[in-house]
Structures are given as C-alpha cells and as structure tokens.
Chain A
Amino acid sequence: MSNQSVYGIGPVEQSASCHTLSVVVDNEPGVLARVIGLFSGRGYNIDSLTVAEVNHKKHLSRITIVCSGTPMVIEQIKNHLGRLVPVRKVADLTLEGPHVERELALIKVSGKGDKRIEALRIADIFRARVVDSTLESFVFEVTGTSEKINAFVDLMMPLGLIDISRTGVAAISRGETTVTE
C-alpha cells in the first residue's frame, strides 16, 4: 500500500504536549484569519484562542493561543507564526518560565429549591459572582485557570447548568519580563 502512494507512509506519532503561546500582532484586518488559517491549513490543533487590542496607539493586539502537539510541531507552529508579516513577536510562555493563565466563564444554571441553594453554596466556594438572577436561574461569573472552571462546570452540571460562555485563556509571564518590546 505505502509503496503505491506518491507520498510514502506517514510518520510515527510522538507524544504531544500543551503549550501556551503569546503572539503580538499588528491589529489589522485579516490578521486573525491568517493565524487561524495557519492552524487549519496545516492541521495543527488549537485548544483555545483569545485576542484583543492591547496597545491602541501602536495598533497592537495580543493573541493567546493554547495548542498541543509534538515538540517538532510546536516548533513549527512558532516558526510559521513568526513569519507572518503582521506578527511582531511570538513567545512560548510554557518554555519561557513561570507564567499565569486565567480564563473567565459565564455560566447559566436554572433550578429551584435545594438545587438552587446548593448552586449558590458551590459558587461561593469557587468565588464565582452572581451577575444575573431570576427566580429560576442564575448567571455566575467565574475566573481562574481552565481546570478550575472545568471543575466548577462539572459541579454545576447536575444542578441545572444550561448554558456556558468561556473566554479562553489569557496568559502573561510572571516577574518583570514582557513580550512587547
């Protein structure tokens, strides 16, 4: 079979790991499409992606990407990002030392009676805030690591969770180092 294809056999899979990349880009039309197109076009996985302008005067946005792959794939992702014309800087926070990651989620839970009380109690443990409430529902706002949010979601599920909106991960290095030059 392999002999019959023009392409030979594929590579043996290596073990994948998860990396958080911080990418500073010129905030111009199409820049996000370029970044996303690179991932879809080359078959890389994005676990999470967030983007917002961080410097209005210089028109710079910061994209935080959580992606997984073998070390060779992660290296490729960084190099491909680096050669996009509007990309100013690519930092691999996972490799470059300690950093903080946070995510925000809005979680809608509907229920009555005991379940409603239990939901509030758990929200308190997680330091989730109630940002909307009706007699039969709450919207909680919770921030933290993705794991914390996953845990909160798991607990809310049996208590009537009906809708989730998550921002994806924002990340920044600890200490004085910055990614913007």
Chain B
Amino acid sequence: MTQTKTKAKSKDAKDTKTKTEKAPEAMTGAGIVIQALIDQGVDTIFGYPGGAVLPIYDELFKQKKIRHILVRHEQAAAHAAEGYARSTGKVGAFLVTSGPGATNAVTGLTDALLDSIPVVCISGQVPTFLIGNDAFQEADTTGITRPCTKHNYLVSDVNKLADIMHESFHVARTGRPGPVLVDIPKDVQFAQGTYKKPETKKYRVYQPKINPQQKNIERAVAMMAKAKKPVFYTGGGVINAGEDACKALTKFVKTTGFPITSTLMGLGAFPAKEKQWLGMLGMHGTFEANHAMHQSDLVINIGARFDDRVTGRTDAFCPNAKKIHVDIDPSSINKNIAVDLAITADAGIALEAMMKEWKAKEYKSKGADLKRWWERIDKWRAEDCLAYKQTGDIIKPQYALQRLQAHLHGREDVFISTEVGQHQMWAAQYLHFNKPNRWMTSGGLGTMGYGLPAAIGTQVAHPDALVIDVAGEASIQMNIQELSTAVQHKLPVKIFILNNQWMGMVRQWQELLHGERYSHSYSEALPDFVKLAEAFGGIGLRATKASELDDVIKEMLSTDRVTVVDVNVDPKENCFPMIPSGAAHNEMILAADAEKFAQGLV
C-alpha cells in the first residue's frame, strides 16, 4: 500500500492552540463529542448540519484535527463513512441531524449492518424535555434504528457521554463489526460535563470470543491433511479481520496448495493473480469455483456466511463435502448450512493457529489426489466461462471492464467501488484484486446509490490514489448529487458508467424468468451524463464505439478532476454465468446455454 493514511488539512479552520491534556476535563457535551472522536483516532467525519446538531457543528468549527466532509444527502454520509472504513480498516464516522437527517441515514446503517462495516453515526435529537412531544424534527431515532444497527444509544446524561462515545467505537470495531448510532439530545450537547479518556484496559461490555480452541484447530488441520478434493471458501470476514489476516490466509493457502474461491465481499483477501485463485463463487461466480465447491470433499469456510447468493439450493450445496466454518459470530454458524466443525474465532488468529499446527505436525497435502483434483479444476477452467464476443462497434460491457483492467495493470494504488446490478457483477468478474480493502461494494443489502459516496469516502482516506466507481446509469442517479461533494472537496473520483439504458439486472431477470415482459425496467429520459458532469463542475467523457474506449479510459486516468465517463454499452447483454435461485452449483447457466434455458422455461 502506498497511500493509506489520511493527511487531511481543513483549510478554513482557524489556528487554535491544542488543549492541554489534563483529565478529567470539564466541557460541553458537544465538546466531549469532538474530543472523544479525536481520541478515537477519527480524522474525518462526513456529515450534514441541522438544528439538533448545531452545538456539535460549532465545536467542529473551532478545531482543526477533524476534517468535515459536507455531503449532499445523509445516506451518502453513511456510505462515504463505509467507503472510508472499508478502504482503511478503521471505523468510519458520520454526523446527522435529528428527524429527516437520521431517517435519511437508515439505508446506510442497514447497508453497514449487512456487510459488517464498522461505522459510528452521531445523530442530534430534540432536547430531552421535548422527547415524545412530536417536537419539530423529532423522530424516534433509536427506535427506528434498533433493528439496523449493531447497537445504539440515547444519551440522557452529559456525564455518561464520554463513556458512551468510546464504547460506541469499541462495539463498532470489535467482534463482528457493524454500525453503531449515538443519539444526543440538544440539551445534552449544551450541558457542561466531565470528559473521560478512552479505557485503556477492558471495556465493561461486549467482549466477544476471538481465540479458537486448540482441539478444534487440530481437528480442522487434520481434516485438511486428509482431504482429497479440498477448497477454501473465504469471505468478508477475512477482510474484517485485517491485512495481517489476509496475509496469513495467503500464506496458509499457498502452503496447502489447495484451490481457493471467495464471496463478493471477500475479493482481494487472496491475490487474484495467483494460480490457486478460482475466481468468485455463487450466483454469478465462475464455472470452476462453483463446480469445485459442488464436487469438493472438504469446504473450508473462513469468514463467509453461507449467503443464499452463494449456496443456491441449500439441500444440494456441496453434497459430498465435510464443512469447516471459522466465524467470529456464533450466530453465523449453523444458520443456513449445518457444518461438521464450527470454530468461533477471529479469522486471522485461527489462520495463524492452523498454520502453526500444519507445520508442527509436518502435514503434507495429499500429493497425488490433489494433483488429480487440480486436473479436474483445470478442465472446468478450460470452459472459459467469462468468454464473450466483442465484434463490431457496439461496446460489450465486459470488454469495457477488460480494457479498464488492462489500463490499471501494474498499478498498486487503485480502489474500486460499485453500484448495484450487472455492472457490479461484471466488475467482480473482470477486475482483479490482489490486495484487501481495495473493493467497496454493497453485497448484503445491494444498495443502488452506494458506489459514488463510497468512492468519495475512499478518496478522502487515500487522497493520492485512483478511485473508480463502476456504475450503472440507473444506480448512479440514486446519489448523483454527490458529484457536488466530490467537486467541493477536490476528491477526483472517476465514475465509469456502463450505460445500457436499462436496469440491466432487472431486465435480465425479466428476460430469463418473466417471459420477456419488461415491466418498467427501461430508463426513459436519461440525462446527458457528459453535460451533467460539467454542470457539477467535473469532466464528462463519452465512448460510443469500441474503438473510442482506450482513448477515453486514458483521458479519464490522466485527469486529476472529478470525471464521469459515459460508456454506451450493448443494452441487451446479460451477466453470466448464472445460477438461477433455488438451483444447485452444478446447474449453472453459461452464456452459450442462455438461449436454451430461456426456451426451456416457457
């Protein structure tokens, strides 16, 4: 990683003397919020002001340690914080006002919950004495967000505020990460209280188990050494566990020589350039990954949650395999798929322990069997399931991404976010991730409108890196206003729109599964994205023919300004391979079979 740490400087903040450190300190609630953020290592907060958070905005104005990024919609503040968090491994922070500010943030909180992203949301609330009165801009924020946060707090006493602030970061980042909300009534922000530094020892609450039991590690490794057709199935949990965990994974997988596939959320934990990498598995996963899972005799799940996009028909999922599942959250284990060996632990710690055990017992993979297994896998690979035909002028979306990948080749400083739809799946299939934290996508909630704000959050954290949002023309319109944020804060994100004029993913389902009745999935009256980009103060580029693509990509990569690229792609292209829901991994539809399948249906 070349650029990870933020060196953010707020230009407009005045030069103030840093407070002398003597605890406990008396300050206002709003001051406590800012001091706690600083002590928690927050250097950037995304937000949008309003009546119920004005005291906190006042404190922000008076300091210069935290950079505030003004967004254009609170949903975007949440996604930007997610992008910041996912690309750095730190906790993302955002600040919203009461009522509509908080309700606008709900989609982002839910997104972070489903994808296990650590973020802390500070929301303003009407003064304590007005709570429950239908006061101006009052919403029951803790009530509304209870099911979509990992935990939330309503602060009723300024003297509890410091502890709650610190605890919220602890809860967000510890165990299975997730969103935490702290709702602070305005009178508490004004009130005088004492500040407390973060606990240096253990927190009072929430101490999830992270260490595996040695006997389980021994059993797991023994199972691996005996396996004839093993496969690693890894997920977002390895990314959550951190860069070292990803290194431990890579080392262990290489030592065993086993094949490895990963979920959408786990891309980059193991380098895609390695020979052992089979590509993504699941609904739009590769032929080789899904067949390897189906035929395997040992599936080693590290930090993935057997999601329904991955398992397909659960009673036909890896029918001949023993299953090992390493997950930090016991509620992820035996939820969808019953496993033979459950290990509740942090992925990184478990992987290190496995490596140690493998070496200590001087295990060797079953050479001849493994060789035969790889021969089979190579046959599946030879299917070349991601092949497509680029002929003539019409740009195939896959081609656009492959050209983009070609131009990015060798660059270490590339971060990709996506919106939701076909383009997202193609990005997962055709772009390669060799490092963790380089891939920001909304997997669990599948939130259209995630990509642009997530790219903004990523760019803030990595000011010199190249950040590209691979978008669809429908999704991008869901948070298009954030172009203004990017321009204001000089965050030169690139938006690479695969414009097929359709809600492509919806159209694909309608074509294949609803008798080609294209009910309301055509995007009529699309804006001119080039002019739109210019109207926002960015650069707009367009490619309409395959021959224009390379030049347009080069131009996009050469600017240091916010750039929107409108790539006009084949409107009819579908995303394959595809496992229809409720089907098994070996019942995959490849591009070539698609026609057969459609006919078989009617």
Q: Residues on A close to B: CB < 8 A?
A: 2-9, 11-12, 26, 29-30, 33-34, 37, 41, 72, 75-76, 79-80, 82-86
Q: Give Cα A48–Cα B514 distance, bound, in whole angstroms.
A: 44
Q: Give Cα A126–Cα B420 distance, bound, in whole angstroms.
A: 64
Q: Give Cα A67–Cα B564 distance, bound, in whole angstroms.
A: 54
Question: How far, in Å, is A59 (CB) from chain B's closest CB?
Answer: 11
Q: With a CB–CB cut-off of 8 A, which chain A residues contact B583?
A: 3, 8
Contacting residues of chain B (575-593) with chain A, CB-CB under 8 angstroms: 580-583
Whether A3 contacts B330 by the Cβ 8 Å rule is no
| B329 at interface, CB cutoff 8 A | yes
A-B pairs, 6 with minimum CB distance? A8-B582, A79-B331, A8-B581, A85-B151, A79-B330, A2-B582
User: A3-B581, A8-B582, A30-B146 given as contacts; is B175 within 8 A of A83 (CB)?
Assistant: yes
Which listed residue, A7, A30, A86, touches B308 by the CB 8 Å rule?
A7
Closest residue of chain B to A9 (Cβ to Cβ) is B582
Which listed residue, A4, A7, A72, A83, touches B330 by the CB 8 Å rule?
A83
Task: Return the CB mask of B480-503 against A: 1 if under 8 Å, else 0.
Answer: 000000000000000000000000
Q: Give Cα A8–Cα B335 distance, bound, in whole angstroms.
A: 16
Whether B580 contacts A34 by the Cβ 8 Å rule is no
Whether B331 contacts A83 by the Cβ 8 Å rule is yes
Whether A8 contacts B312 by the Cβ 8 Å rule is yes
Whether A41 contacts B147 by the Cβ 8 Å rule is yes
Q: With a CB–CB cut-off of 8 A, which chain A residues contact B509?
A: 6
Which listed residue, B154, B205, B314, B315, touches A85 by the CB 8 Å rule?
B205
| B334 at interface, CB cutoff 8 A | yes
Q: With a CB–CB cut-off of 8 A, which chain B residues contact A33?
A: 143, 146
Which listed residue, B143, B312, B315, B514, touches A4 by the CB 8 Å rule?
B514
**Residue of B152, B205, B582 ringed by the most chain A CB atoms within 10 A:** B582
Closest residue of chain B to A75 (Cβ to Cβ) is B334
Question: How far, in Å, is A55 (CB) from chain B's closest CB?
Answer: 15
Question: How far, in Å, is A40 (CB) from chain B's closest CB?
Answer: 9
Interchain Cβ contacts under 8 Å between A and B, 25 examples: A2-B582, A3-B581, A3-B583, A3-B601, A4-B514, A6-B581, A7-B582, A8-B313, A8-B581, A8-B582, A9-B313, A9-B582, A12-B315, A29-B156, A30-B142, A30-B146, A33-B146, A37-B147, A76-B335, A79-B331, A83-B330, A85-B150, A85-B151, A85-B171, A85-B205
| B598 at interface, CB cutoff 8 A | no
Which listed residue, B312, B331, B514, B601, touches A80 by the CB 8 Å rule?
B331
Closest residue of chain B to A5 (Cβ to Cβ) is B581
Closest residue of chain A to B332 (Cβ to Cβ) is A79
Q: Give Cα A84–Cα B338 distance, bound, in whole angstroms.
A: 23
Q: Give Cα A9–Cα B142 distance, bound, in whole angstroms.
A: 35
